[in-house]
Amino acid sequence: MLSACMFQNPDLPADVFTACLTTPIKVALRWFCSRSLLKHDGISKELIDRIPGRQTDRKTPLGELNWIFTAITDTIAWNSLPRALFQKLFRQDLLVASLFRNFLLAERIMAASNCSPVSYPRLPPTHQHPMWQAWDLAAEMCLLQLPGLLADPNAEFTPSSFFSEQLTAFELWLAHGSADKKPPEQLPIVLQVLLSQVHRLRALVLLGRFLDMGSWAVDLALSVGIFPYVLKLLQTTSSDLRTTLVFIWAKILALDRSCQADLVKDNGHLYFLKYLDAPEPTIDNHNRAQAVFVLAVVCDQHPKGQALCAAANLLQVSLGLRDTGSACC
């Protein structure tokens, strides 16, 4: 349940709270522009309403801002809420998650006018979270390009450096972090980056390094919602991702074997069978052993997994590896 009192701002829609819940990006840009020097540079609310692109296309200004907004609000929520409440509000239902992300924006905007929107369950105040500064920077960099993009349809949009910078911050945490220190606040952003072909390999390698720090790291990654992201990546055919993906899945299943049912449901076991059977010399015995472990977990006390692996010729593949002298078998 979400509700709020009304207040007036000439730069924002009359019902600010509802506008935040339904059109968060344009409201966020209007509010930011009204409080920055950009309003003196010809950036008007009329221009903002014409921002090019679609929310579902991350290569366009509107789509990239929506992507960054999702990453930032997820990060604020994950770092501010109890783990169970984060899972309930931000991971169980897409519509509920979207509404509560937008609620965080409403809380930020309305807090500036001494108003406090109310939610049930109640959320802690997040309007002063430092990640909002990263959003302001991304918004500013986009708005600075807006007049040129609207004046010339052939003008090229310069993507934000937000995700690259956040991956660098995560990499720095990996160099100095541990189980005894504060968890890396960039973890939800790393998961969002897995959706990008540009940063995907770097994000996967960094995620693998994080999971290799111990079971506590795997548990944190599962709490932020890693599972559907790495499950979807099993549909990719990129050879440069395979070894890191196999390693990540071995780490996940070593801690949480309940994932075997979802893995089999989406035919994910076939990815590891193909990897195991690949003739490439770059795949060493240690890597193959990780794939064997994943398939062993899939079959462990799981009749459906056993039947599907048998039907996919797991036994023949294993015997073939034995005959060629692979140490993993």
DSSP letter for each residue of 62-79: HHHHHHHHHHHHHHHHHH
The two tokens of residue 4 are 């709020």
* Residue of 36, 277, 291 whose CA lies nearest to 142: 36
Distances (CA, A) of 32 to 8, 10, 50, 143, 293: 16, 13, 16, 10, 51
**Are 88 and 10 a contacting pair, CB within 8 Å?**
no
| Segment among 103-107, 189-193, 235-239, 296-300 with least mean pLDDT | 235-239
pTM value? 0.88
What does the alpha-carbon distance between residue 24 and residue 232 come to, in Å, rounded to a whole number? 27
Q: Which amino acid is at 16?
A: V
7: pLDDT confidence band, cut at 50, 70 and 90?
A: low
| Segment among 3-12, 51-60, 71-80 with least mean pLDDT | 3-12
Q: Is 3 helix (H, G, I), strand (E, B) or coil?
A: strand
Q: Above pLDDT 90, what percent of the chain?
A: 60
pLDDT of residue 327: 47
pLDDT of residue 6: 57
User: Average pLDDT for residues 47-52, to the nearest whole number?
Assistant: 90
Give the highest mean pLDDT range of 36-50, 182-196, 312-326: 182-196
- The total of other beta-carbon atoms located within 10 Å of residue 94's CB is 9
Residues in the chain: 329
* Tokens 């220190």 sit on residue: 181
The neighbouring-strand residues paired with 122 are none
114: pLDDT confidence band, cut at 50, 70 and 90?
A: confident
Give the highest mean pLDDT range of 34-38, 197-201, 285-289: 197-201
The two tokens of residue 196 are 């990008």
Structure confidence by residue, pLDDT tens digits, 132-156 = 999 999 999 999 999 999 999 889 9
pLDDT of residue 17 exceeding 70: yes
Structure confidence by residue, pLDDT tens digits, 22-36 = 999 999 999 998 888
Q: Is 154 helix (H, G, I), strand (E, B) or coil?
A: coil
Structure confidence by residue, pLDDT tens digits, 213-252 = 999 999 999 999 998 899 999 988 888 899 999 999 999 9
Q: Is 179 helix (H, G, I), strand (E, B) or coil?
A: coil
What does the alpha-carbon distance between residue 55 and residue 60 come to, in Å, rounded to a whole number? 8
* Residue of 68, 48, 23 whose CA lies nearest to 149: 48
User: Average pLDDT for residues 307-312, to the nearest whole number?
Assistant: 89
pLDDT of residue 14 exceeding 90: no
What does the alpha-carbon distance between residue 30 and residue 44 come to, in Å, rounded to a whole number? 8
**Are 245 and 201 a contacting pair, CB within 8 Å?**
no
